[in-house]
Amino acid sequence: MAILNIITEEDPMLRKKSREVTEITPRIIALLDDMRDTLHKAQGAGLAAVQVGVLRRIALVEYEEGNTIELINPEIIEIDGEQTGLEGCLSLPGKWGVVTRPETVTVRAMNRNGEIFTHTASGLGARAFCHEIEHMDGIIYTDRAERMLTPDEIEEMFEE
């Protein structure tokens, strides 16, 4: 397993649409494993394959410590409510914005065994699912941000 390089916002690949996974191959399994190691090292809540330079509809979300959810070809099938809060991204280090997302989402995806499953999450989990799935369509959270935090606000946030 390997730690992959996370591309940053300057890379035009982040704006490209990812392709559907049509077959679970050993390369896809290796990518999932490497993405998990990369996500843990970066201490993020989620990581999309495009962020490591792979244009496939694959993402990991870990909003509860030790529970990494692997998503292949995910789609949001139900939303409820609304939440507004801070959001950041491993591809935009040091930046934070205020984004409104659904309070609860249900996602349908495939796991590494090719099995279809659904998962419902609220709060941070819902935010992470929306954020990572949007990455697959070339959308970055700054496109949705109501405002970005200033450097002084960010400094204050991390002092607490």
Asked if residue 21 lies in contact with residue 92, where contact means CB atoms within 8 angstroms, the answer is no
Q: What amino acid occupies position 120?
A: T
Which H, E and C letters describe 143-154, residue by residue? HCCCEECCHHHH
**Residue 155: what residue type?**
E
Catalytic residue from among 103, 132, 134, 156:
132
- Residues with Cβ < 8 Å from 98, sequence gap 6 or more? 84, 85, 86, 87, 145, 146, 147, 148, 149
Q: Give the residue from 24, 137, 119, 18 showing the smallest Cα distance to 62.
A: 119
CA distance 42 to 98: 21
Say whether 160 is catalytic. no
Tell me the C-alpha to C-alpha distance, in Å, between residue 149 and each of 42, 93, 96.
21, 13, 6
Catalytic residue numbers read 132
